[in-house]
Amino acid sequence: MVDEHSNEALRGETHRDCAENLRDVSDEHRLEELVAGFIATAQANGQTGPGLDARREADLLVAVAVGLGGDVLHERRALDDVRGALGYHLTKLFSPTGPAQP
């Protein structure tokens, strides 16, 4: 059993570890770069709307997925709702004619 002081010490170590990981930013955007590559390939094949900035779209897509994933973890959103939101965004992104106009 972990007593209160040990728990505090473990949390302190965890926070220090997290801080160290945040300082090591050499590979901090690897996922965004991978997604940007997918989007650029889709653009080259006419599978996206015109005029997209692949890098910006990748940044947004990853940020949305991470944010919504956090909502699922903290039980603020249902997994099906998050899947629906991501599916909606992906459908807009990978529509050759661009987003539907209201």
pLDDT per residue as tens digits for the range 24-46: 444 678 899 999 999 999 999 99
Q: pLDDT, tens digit, for every residue of 73-89?
A: 999 999 999 999 999 99
Whether the pTM exceeds 0.85: the reply is no
Amino acid identity, position 37: G
> Locate tokens 């779209």: which residue?
57
Question: What values do phi and psi take at 94, rounded to 5?
Answer: -100, 35
How do the domains of the chain map onto residue ranges?
28-93
- Return the number of other C-beta atoms located less than 10 Å from residue 45's C-beta: 9
Q: Are 39 and 57 in contact (CB under 8 A)?
A: yes
